[in-house]
Amino acid sequence: MKAIVGNFGRILIGGATLAAILLVFVPPSMMSKDKGKETNVTLNKLTPDEEQVIKFKGTEMPFTGELYKNTAAGTYLCRQCDAPLYRSSDKFDSGCGWPSFDDEIDGAVKRTVDADGHRTEITCARCGGHLGHVFEGEGFTDKNVRHCVNSISMRFIPASQNVSTAKAYFAGGCFWGTEHLLQQAGGVISVQSGYMGGHTKNPTYREVCDGNTGHAETVEVVYDPSKTNYETLARLFFEIHDPTQYNRQGPDVGNQYRSAVFYVDDEQKQITEKLVGLLKDKGYKVVTEIAKADNFYPAEKYHQDYYESNGKEPYCHFYQKRF
Protein backbone atom coordinates (compact mmCIF):
# COMPACT_ATOMS: atom_id res chain seq x y z
CA MET A 1 0.00 0.00 0.00
CA LYS A 2 1.11 3.57 -0.57
CA ALA A 3 2.65 5.36 2.40
CA ILE A 4 0.85 8.50 3.54
CA VAL A 5 2.45 11.15 5.76
CA GLY A 6 0.22 12.63 8.46
CA ASN A 7 0.15 16.35 9.31
CA PHE A 8 2.57 15.82 12.17
CA GLY A 9 5.14 13.79 10.23
CA ARG A 10 3.80 10.31 11.06
CA ILE A 11 3.92 7.72 8.31
CA LEU A 12 0.49 6.20 8.02
CA ILE A 13 -0.14 3.03 6.08
CA GLY A 14 -3.61 2.42 4.81
CA GLY A 15 -6.00 2.18 2.36
CA ALA A 16 -25.31 44.33 7.76
CA THR A 17 -24.96 44.20 11.44
CA LEU A 18 -27.64 42.61 13.58
CA ALA A 19 -27.19 40.14 16.36
CA ALA A 20 -30.59 38.50 16.09
CA ILE A 21 -30.50 35.04 14.51
CA LEU A 22 -33.46 33.35 12.82
CA LEU A 23 -33.71 29.59 12.38
CA VAL A 24 -33.03 28.75 8.75
CA PHE A 25 -35.15 26.09 7.11
CA VAL A 26 -33.65 24.39 4.09
CA PRO A 27 -35.73 21.84 2.19
CA PRO A 28 -34.52 18.23 2.37
CA SER A 29 -33.78 18.25 -1.37
CA MET A 30 -30.94 20.69 -0.69
CA MET A 31 -29.32 18.72 2.09
CA SER A 32 -27.21 15.71 2.92
CA LYS A 33 -24.45 15.27 5.46
CA ASP A 34 -20.71 15.52 4.82
CA LYS A 35 -18.59 15.82 7.94
CA GLY A 36 -21.27 17.96 9.56
CA LYS A 37 -21.61 20.30 6.60
CA GLU A 38 -25.04 20.46 4.99
CA THR A 39 -24.79 20.03 1.23
CA ASN A 40 -26.24 17.82 -1.46
CA VAL A 41 -22.95 17.41 -3.30
CA THR A 42 -22.57 13.84 -4.54
CA LEU A 43 -19.32 12.41 -3.16
CA ASN A 44 -17.29 9.71 -4.86
CA LYS A 45 -16.29 6.60 -2.95
CA LEU A 46 -12.68 6.91 -1.79
CA THR A 47 -10.02 4.32 -1.15
CA PRO A 48 -8.47 4.21 2.36
CA ASP A 49 -5.37 6.05 1.07
CA GLU A 50 -7.53 8.75 -0.56
CA GLU A 51 -9.57 9.15 2.62
CA GLN A 52 -6.42 9.57 4.70
CA VAL A 53 -5.43 12.62 2.66
CA ILE A 54 -8.77 14.09 1.55
CA LYS A 55 -10.82 13.59 4.72
CA PHE A 56 -8.16 13.38 7.43
CA LYS A 57 -5.69 15.91 5.99
CA GLY A 58 -2.75 13.58 5.53
CA THR A 59 0.02 14.09 2.97
CA GLU A 60 1.17 11.62 0.34
CA MET A 61 4.86 10.85 0.05
CA PRO A 62 6.66 13.29 -2.30
CA PHE A 63 7.55 12.20 -5.85
CA THR A 64 5.03 9.30 -5.70
CA GLY A 65 1.81 10.85 -7.06
CA GLU A 66 0.56 9.84 -10.50
CA LEU A 67 -0.10 13.47 -11.46
CA TYR A 68 3.20 14.93 -10.25
CA LYS A 69 4.91 14.79 -13.66
CA ASN A 70 1.75 15.06 -15.78
CA THR A 71 2.18 17.68 -18.52
CA ALA A 72 -0.88 16.94 -20.68
CA ALA A 73 -3.41 19.68 -21.45
CA GLY A 74 -6.60 19.44 -19.45
CA THR A 75 -8.29 20.12 -16.14
CA TYR A 76 -7.62 18.81 -12.64
CA LEU A 77 -10.76 17.91 -10.68
CA CYS A 78 -11.41 17.22 -7.01
CA ARG A 79 -11.25 13.44 -6.59
CA GLN A 80 -14.03 13.51 -3.98
CA CYS A 81 -16.67 15.63 -5.76
CA ASP A 82 -15.40 16.21 -9.35
CA ALA A 83 -15.34 20.01 -9.01
CA PRO A 84 -12.87 21.63 -11.47
CA LEU A 85 -9.90 22.97 -9.47
CA TYR A 86 -6.92 23.74 -11.71
CA ARG A 87 -6.04 24.15 -15.38
CA SER A 88 -2.98 22.51 -16.86
CA SER A 89 -1.81 25.92 -18.12
CA ASP A 90 -1.25 26.96 -14.49
CA LYS A 91 0.78 23.86 -13.54
CA PHE A 92 4.56 24.08 -13.21
CA ASP A 93 7.40 21.95 -11.90
CA SER A 94 8.64 23.36 -8.60
CA GLY A 95 10.75 20.31 -7.79
CA CYS A 96 8.97 19.89 -4.46
CA GLY A 97 7.62 16.40 -5.19
CA TRP A 98 3.94 17.33 -5.47
CA PRO A 99 1.89 18.91 -8.30
CA SER A 100 2.30 22.70 -8.21
CA PHE A 101 0.01 25.40 -9.63
CA ASP A 102 0.32 29.20 -9.54
CA ASP A 103 -3.42 29.83 -9.98
CA GLU A 104 -6.77 28.10 -9.46
CA ILE A 105 -10.10 28.13 -11.28
CA ASP A 106 -12.11 31.09 -9.96
CA GLY A 107 -13.78 30.25 -6.66
CA ALA A 108 -12.73 26.60 -6.68
CA VAL A 109 -10.28 26.61 -3.77
CA LYS A 110 -10.77 27.75 -0.18
CA ARG A 111 -7.89 28.96 2.02
CA THR A 112 -7.78 28.41 5.78
CA VAL A 113 -4.90 29.22 8.12
CA ASP A 114 -3.66 26.08 9.91
CA ALA A 115 -4.15 25.81 13.65
CA ASP A 116 -0.44 26.53 14.17
CA GLY A 117 -0.88 29.86 12.39
CA HIS A 118 2.03 29.24 10.02
CA ARG A 119 0.74 27.51 6.91
CA THR A 120 -2.39 28.07 4.81
CA GLU A 121 -4.39 24.96 3.98
CA ILE A 122 -6.24 24.71 0.68
CA THR A 123 -9.45 22.71 0.37
CA CYS A 124 -12.03 22.14 -2.35
CA ALA A 125 -14.56 24.97 -2.01
CA ARG A 126 -17.34 22.64 -3.07
CA CYS A 127 -16.91 19.65 -0.74
CA GLY A 128 -14.23 20.68 1.74
CA GLY A 129 -11.79 17.94 0.72
CA HIS A 130 -8.16 18.56 1.69
CA LEU A 131 -5.89 19.45 -1.23
CA GLY A 132 -2.64 20.64 0.34
CA HIS A 133 -1.19 24.05 1.17
CA VAL A 134 -0.54 27.34 -0.62
CA PHE A 135 2.69 29.33 -0.38
CA GLU A 136 3.59 32.85 -1.55
CA GLY A 137 6.79 34.75 -2.12
CA GLU A 138 8.91 31.85 -3.39
CA GLY A 139 9.52 33.35 -6.84
CA PHE A 140 8.86 30.22 -8.91
CA THR A 141 6.61 32.06 -11.38
CA ASP A 142 5.56 35.64 -12.10
CA LYS A 143 2.44 35.11 -10.00
CA ASN A 144 4.68 34.25 -7.03
CA VAL A 145 2.20 31.68 -5.71
CA ARG A 146 2.52 27.90 -5.33
CA HIS A 147 -0.44 25.63 -4.68
CA CYS A 148 1.22 22.47 -3.39
CA VAL A 149 -1.43 19.81 -4.03
CA ASN A 150 -1.54 16.13 -3.19
CA SER A 151 -1.81 14.19 -6.43
CA ILE A 152 -4.15 11.75 -4.71
CA SER A 153 -6.62 14.60 -4.01
CA MET A 154 -7.23 15.13 -7.73
CA ARG A 155 -8.07 13.36 -10.96
CA PHE A 156 -7.18 14.61 -14.42
CA ILE A 157 -9.51 15.13 -17.39
CA PRO A 158 -7.85 15.68 -20.81
CA ALA A 159 -8.75 18.86 -22.67
CA SER A 160 -10.69 16.83 -25.25
CA GLN A 161 -13.36 16.07 -22.63
CA ASN A 162 -14.14 19.79 -22.23
CA VAL A 163 -14.81 20.38 -18.51
CA SER A 164 -16.66 23.70 -18.18
CA THR A 165 -18.24 25.95 -15.57
CA ALA A 166 -20.79 28.77 -15.70
CA LYS A 167 -21.52 31.83 -13.57
CA ALA A 168 -24.59 33.58 -12.21
CA TYR A 169 -24.92 36.80 -10.18
CA PHE A 170 -27.62 37.44 -7.56
CA ALA A 171 -28.23 40.26 -5.09
CA GLY A 172 -30.73 39.74 -2.31
CA GLY A 173 -29.86 41.72 0.80
CA CYS A 174 -26.81 41.02 2.94
CA PHE A 175 -24.52 38.83 0.86
CA TRP A 176 -23.59 36.71 3.90
CA GLY A 177 -26.96 34.96 3.88
CA THR A 178 -27.33 34.74 0.10
CA GLU A 179 -23.88 33.18 -0.17
CA HIS A 180 -24.52 30.75 2.71
CA LEU A 181 -27.72 29.28 1.28
CA LEU A 182 -26.68 29.14 -2.38
CA GLN A 183 -23.52 27.28 -1.38
CA GLN A 184 -25.72 24.38 -0.31
CA ALA A 185 -27.30 23.91 -3.74
CA GLY A 186 -26.38 20.88 -5.80
CA GLY A 187 -24.00 21.52 -8.67
CA VAL A 188 -22.62 24.71 -7.13
CA ILE A 189 -18.83 24.78 -7.08
CA SER A 190 -18.37 28.02 -5.16
CA VAL A 191 -20.09 31.25 -4.11
CA GLN A 192 -18.20 34.51 -3.56
CA SER A 193 -19.51 37.70 -1.96
CA GLY A 194 -18.88 41.01 -3.69
CA TYR A 195 -20.34 44.12 -5.29
CA MET A 196 -22.01 44.79 -8.68
CA GLY A 197 -24.28 47.31 -10.36
CA GLY A 198 -22.52 50.50 -9.31
CA HIS A 199 -20.39 53.23 -10.84
CA THR A 200 -17.29 53.27 -8.62
CA LYS A 201 -14.26 51.14 -9.44
CA ASN A 202 -12.98 48.79 -6.74
CA PRO A 203 -15.45 49.90 -4.06
CA THR A 204 -14.81 49.11 -0.41
CA TYR A 205 -17.43 47.80 1.97
CA ARG A 206 -17.55 51.15 3.77
CA GLU A 207 -18.10 53.02 0.50
CA VAL A 208 -20.90 50.66 -0.51
CA CYS A 209 -22.51 51.00 2.94
CA ASP A 210 -22.46 54.78 2.59
CA GLY A 211 -24.81 54.29 -0.38
CA ASN A 212 -22.90 56.49 -2.83
CA THR A 213 -21.42 53.88 -5.18
CA GLY A 214 -24.67 52.40 -6.51
CA HIS A 215 -23.49 48.83 -5.91
CA ALA A 216 -25.62 46.00 -4.57
CA GLU A 217 -24.21 43.35 -2.27
CA THR A 218 -23.97 40.55 -4.83
CA VAL A 219 -22.82 36.95 -4.93
CA GLU A 220 -21.01 35.29 -7.80
CA VAL A 221 -22.10 31.67 -8.20
CA VAL A 222 -19.81 29.30 -10.09
CA TYR A 223 -21.63 26.10 -11.02
CA ASP A 224 -21.26 22.92 -13.03
CA PRO A 225 -23.76 22.99 -15.95
CA SER A 226 -23.66 19.19 -16.12
CA LYS A 227 -25.05 18.97 -12.59
CA THR A 228 -27.45 21.92 -12.37
CA ASN A 229 -28.72 24.81 -14.49
CA TYR A 230 -29.37 28.52 -14.24
CA GLU A 231 -33.13 28.22 -13.81
CA THR A 232 -32.74 25.90 -10.81
CA LEU A 233 -30.41 28.38 -9.12
CA ALA A 234 -32.57 31.39 -9.99
CA ARG A 235 -35.67 29.70 -8.58
CA LEU A 236 -33.78 29.00 -5.37
CA PHE A 237 -32.60 32.62 -5.22
CA PHE A 238 -36.21 33.84 -5.31
CA GLU A 239 -37.05 31.42 -2.48
CA ILE A 240 -34.25 32.34 -0.05
CA HIS A 241 -34.94 36.09 0.00
CA ASP A 242 -38.03 38.28 -0.25
CA PRO A 243 -38.20 39.74 -3.78
CA THR A 244 -41.06 42.06 -2.80
CA GLN A 245 -38.96 44.24 -0.48
CA TYR A 246 -37.70 47.42 -2.11
CA ASN A 247 -34.15 48.55 -1.26
CA ARG A 248 -34.02 46.38 1.81
CA GLN A 249 -34.03 42.83 3.11
CA GLY A 250 -35.39 42.35 6.60
CA PRO A 251 -33.71 44.81 8.98
CA ASP A 252 -31.04 45.82 6.43
CA VAL A 253 -32.15 48.99 4.64
CA GLY A 254 -30.49 50.75 1.72
CA ASN A 255 -29.94 50.56 -2.03
CA GLN A 256 -27.01 48.18 -1.51
CA TYR A 257 -29.50 45.61 -0.12
CA ARG A 258 -31.82 45.71 -3.14
CA SER A 259 -33.07 42.59 -4.87
CA ALA A 260 -31.39 42.18 -8.24
CA VAL A 261 -30.44 39.60 -10.84
CA PHE A 262 -27.47 40.46 -13.05
CA TYR A 263 -27.71 38.27 -16.15
CA VAL A 264 -24.66 37.30 -18.24
CA ASP A 265 -26.54 36.46 -21.45
CA ASP A 266 -29.97 36.65 -23.06
CA GLU A 267 -30.89 33.15 -21.90
CA GLN A 268 -30.41 34.09 -18.25
CA LYS A 269 -32.39 37.29 -18.84
CA GLN A 270 -35.31 35.41 -20.39
CA ILE A 271 -35.36 32.80 -17.62
CA THR A 272 -35.32 35.51 -14.94
CA GLU A 273 -38.15 37.42 -16.62
CA LYS A 274 -40.15 34.19 -16.85
CA LEU A 275 -39.70 33.47 -13.15
CA VAL A 276 -40.65 37.02 -12.17
CA GLY A 277 -43.77 36.65 -14.32
CA LEU A 278 -44.69 33.41 -12.56
CA LEU A 279 -44.31 35.06 -9.17
CA LYS A 280 -46.42 38.05 -10.20
CA ASP A 281 -49.13 35.68 -11.46
CA LYS A 282 -49.14 34.19 -7.95
CA GLY A 283 -49.75 37.64 -6.46
CA TYR A 284 -46.20 38.57 -5.43
CA LYS A 285 -45.37 42.24 -6.01
CA VAL A 286 -41.83 41.56 -7.20
CA VAL A 287 -39.45 44.54 -7.26
CA THR A 288 -36.33 42.61 -8.31
CA GLU A 289 -34.09 44.57 -10.66
CA ILE A 290 -33.04 42.69 -13.82
CA ALA A 291 -29.87 44.14 -15.30
CA LYS A 292 -26.91 43.14 -17.45
CA ALA A 293 -23.95 41.91 -15.41
CA ASP A 294 -21.00 44.27 -15.36
CA ASN A 295 -17.84 44.33 -13.27
CA PHE A 296 -17.95 42.10 -10.20
CA TYR A 297 -15.72 43.26 -7.36
CA PRO A 298 -15.01 40.59 -4.71
CA ALA A 299 -15.68 41.77 -1.18
CA GLU A 300 -13.05 41.91 1.53
CA LYS A 301 -11.73 38.57 2.78
CA TYR A 302 -13.58 38.70 6.10
CA HIS A 303 -16.91 38.71 4.25
CA GLN A 304 -16.21 35.41 2.46
CA ASP A 305 -17.81 32.27 3.98
CA TYR A 306 -18.92 34.50 6.85
CA TYR A 307 -21.44 32.18 8.48
CA GLU A 308 -19.33 29.08 8.02
CA SER A 309 -16.36 30.84 9.60
CA ASN A 310 -18.39 32.20 12.51
CA GLY A 311 -20.63 29.21 13.16
CA LYS A 312 -23.83 31.25 12.80
CA GLU A 313 -26.92 31.21 10.61
CA PRO A 314 -28.45 33.98 8.45
CA TYR A 315 -30.61 36.51 10.30
CA CYS A 316 -32.74 37.63 7.34
CA HIS A 317 -32.52 34.80 4.81
CA PHE A 318 -34.46 31.56 4.96
CA TYR A 319 -36.11 29.19 2.55
CA GLN A 320 -39.76 29.82 1.61
CA LYS A 321 -41.35 27.87 -1.22
CA ARG A 322 -42.80 30.29 -3.81
CA PHE A 323 -43.01 28.31 -7.06
Distance CA 100, CA 60 (A): 14
Give the other-Cβ count within 10 Å of 2's Cβ: 17
82 neighbors 90 (Cβ within 8 angstroms)? no
Catalytic: which of 81, 124, 148, 316? Answer: 148
Asked whether 124 and 109 are in contact (CB, 8 A), the reply is: yes
Do residues 322 and 294 make contact, with C-beta atoms less than 8 angstroms apart?
Answer: no
Query: Is residue 174 annotated as a catalytic residue, yes or no?
Result: yes
| 8 A C-beta contact, residue 41 and residue 81 | yes
Contact 173, 252 (CB under 8 A): yes
* Rounded Cα–Cα distance for residues 34 and 20 (Å): 27
Which are the contacts of 28, defined by CB distance < 8 A and separation ≥ 6? none
Query: Does residue 78 carry a catalytic annotation?
Result: no
297 in Cβ contact with 308 (< 8 Å): no
Cα–Cα dist 124/307, whole Å: 18
- Catalytic option among 124, 174, 209, 316: 174
162, with CB counted inside 10 A (0-12, 13-18, 19+), is exposed
Cα–Cα dist 50/301, whole Å:
30
Picking from 149, 100, 152, 85, the residue whose alpha carbon sits closest to that of residue 121 is: 149
Question: What whole-number distance in Å separates Cα of residue 196 and Cα of residue 297?
Answer: 7
Which of 53, 71, 70, 81 has its CA nearest to residue 152? 53
Strand order in the sheet with 84-87: 84-87, 74-78, 154-158
Which residues belong to the active site? 148, 174
